[in-house]
């Protein structure tokens, strides 16, 4: 009994680690923007040291840029998921693996055929989209009349297969992929250094997202697509080949994922597990945005990327979890999602 008593006790301690990481209370009283021209050293010498909220703009905008890039991948992937969900009523769990396949196709095209980035940007989505069409024709088609959960399980199995095969062949270390020559280097914007390639990724993915939105919402083809989403039987009665449209839609959604993969290849390493970690975050993005609207998925994707980037600046420990926390808050406040129709 004595021994037991001695080992039981209560102590109150301050969290030392949290102390070190958190800015001192005084930092809140600093002016919002400070300009100290003498502080710049090393590689940032060309840029004046500007601070906002006590954080150098260099770091702030750098993370914001990375956030926007992540956001453009979230947008492209959740856009593809939303289109596929609209037509096939399934959640494509293979989406992450297909994103990874896009990056790997770009890498393999360069290694074996000498086809560079610009060629891969066109060829890889087509090739991966074609495998998507095969998957739809051979496998998903048989699940049309069943509970959509079976589609989720099947695509989950496919994701495991694809990831496993690539891991066996290329290991999990990852392969580097060069930034194309035309986009190497960067420019000085005065308050930050902007690498050309990153600017390209953001501009190009916004263009792709907008084009997709335009095709679906503003063209005749898009109106067929939307009609088939609402009532496939009626659209078939008008003589439109709905099964083929479903196949092509799946192929297109997969192609979008592969396109995102090619764009990601020069930024992150090309590795077999690059998709599986991303897809779970994209699922959270989809839950936050709701899959009801195309524009909704695009806007949510970019916004959450920015939020994640800002979290990396102000509270780095939470940067991995911030999107999930936002998902929890959205579920509490607006269960149908920001742009979703109430379920």
Partner 1 sequence: MELVAGPQALRKRRENTWSIGAAFAVMVALLAIAPFAVYPVFLMQALCFALFACAFNLLIGYVGLLSFGHALFFGWASYLSAHVEKIGTLSIPFWFGKVMWIEIFLPPQTPELALCIGTLTAAILGYIAGTLAIRRQGIYFAMITLALAQMMYFFALQGKFTGGEDGIQAVPRGRLFGMFSLANEMTMYVFVLTVVLAGFLFIYRVINSPFGEVLKAIRENEQRAISLGYKTERYKLVAFVLSATLSGLAGSLNALVFQLASLTDVHWTMSGEVVLMTLLGGLGTVFGPVVGAFLIIAMQNYLASFGQWVLVIQGVTFVICVLMFRRGIVGELANVLRVRL
Residues engaged in binding partner 1 (CB under 8 A): 4, 7-15, 18-19, 22, 85, 90-91, 139, 142-143, 146-150, 152-154, 156-165, 167-168, 276, 280-281, 283-284, 286-287, 317, 320-321, 324-325, 327-328, 331-332, 335-336, 343
| 162 versus 303: smaller Cβ distance to partner 1 | 162
DSSP assignment string, 162-198: HHHHHHHHHTTT-B--PPPGGG-SEEE-SSSEEEHHH
How many other β-carbons are positioned within 10 Å of the β-carbon of residue 154? 20
Give the N- to C-terminal CA distance of the chain in Å, as an integer: 59
**Alpha carbons 198 and 238: distance in angstroms, whole number:** 45
Name residue 55's beta-bridge partners: 52
Pairing verdict, β 55-56 and 33-35: unpaired
Q: How far is the CB of 37 from partner 1 (least distance, A)?
A: 35
Cβ nearer to partner 1, comparing 143 with 298: 143
Identify which of residues 230 and 320 has a Cβ nearer to partner 1 in the complex: 320
In the bound complex, what is the minimum distance in angstroms from residue 70's beta carbon to partner 1? 16
Name the residue nearer to partner 1 (CB basis): 152 or 179.
152
Nearer to partner 1, 109 or 159 (CB): 159
How many Cβ atoms from other residues are within 10 Å of residue 184's Cβ? 12
The distance of closest approach from Cβ of residue 245 to partner 1 in the complex, given in angstroms and rounded to an integer, is 21
CB of 287 to partner 1, least distance (A): 5
Q: How far is the C-alpha of 226 from the C-alpha of 222, rounded, in Å?
A: 6
* Residue placing its CB nearer to partner 1 in the complex, 56 or 296: 296
Q: Give the DSSP letter string of 80-142.
A: HHHHHHHHH-S--TTHHHHHHHHHHHHHHIIIII---HHHHHHHHHHHHHHHHHHHHHHTGGG
Q: How far is the CB of 89 from partner 1 (least distance, A)?
A: 8
Q: How far is the CB of 20 from partner 1 (least distance, A)?
A: 11
As a whole number of angstroms, the distance between CA 275 and CA 71 comes to: 15
């Amino acid at each position: 009994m004595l021994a037991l008593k001695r080992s039981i006790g209560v102590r109150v301690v301050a969290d030392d680690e949290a102390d070190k990481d958190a800015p001192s209370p005084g930092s809140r009283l600093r002016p919002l923007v400070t300009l100290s021209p003498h502080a710049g050293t090393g590689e940032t010498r060309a840029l004046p040291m500007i601070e906002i909220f006590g954080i150098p703009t260099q770091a702030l905008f750098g993370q914001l840029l990375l956030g926007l890039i992540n956001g453009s991948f979230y947008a492209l992937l959740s856009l593809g998921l939303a289109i596929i969900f609209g037509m096939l009523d399934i959640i494509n769990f293979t989406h992450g693996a297909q994103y990874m396949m896009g990056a790997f196709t770009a890498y393999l095209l360069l290694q074996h055929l000498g086809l560079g980035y610009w060629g891969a940007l066109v060829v890889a989505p087509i090739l991966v989209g074609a495998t998507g069409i095969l998957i739809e024709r051979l496998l998903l088609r048989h699940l049309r009349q069943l509970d959509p959960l079976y589609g989720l399980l099947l695509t989950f199995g496919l994701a495991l297969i694809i990831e496993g095969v690539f891991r066996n062949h290329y290991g999990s270390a990852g392969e580097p992929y060069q930034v194309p020559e035309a986009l190497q280097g960067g420019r000085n914007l005065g308050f930050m250094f902007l690498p050309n390639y990153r600017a390209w990724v953001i501009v190009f993915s916004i263009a792709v997202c907008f084009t997709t939105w335009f095709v679906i919402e503003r063209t005749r083809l898009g109106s067929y697509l939307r009609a088939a989403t609402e009532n496939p039987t009626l659209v078939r009665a008008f003589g439109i080949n709905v099964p083929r449209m479903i196949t092509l839609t799946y192929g297109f959604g997969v192609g979008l994922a592969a396109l995102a993969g090619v764009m990601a290849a020069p930024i992150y390493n090309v590795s077999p597990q690059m998709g599986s970690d991303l897809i779970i975050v994209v699922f959270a993005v989809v839950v936050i945005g709701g899959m009801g609207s195309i524009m909704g998925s695009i806007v949510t994707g970019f916004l959450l990327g920015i939020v994640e980037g800002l979290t990396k600046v102000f509270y780095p420990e939470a940067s991995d979890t911030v999107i999930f926390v936002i998902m929890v808050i959205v579920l509490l406040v607006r269960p149908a999602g920001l742009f979703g129709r109430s379920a």
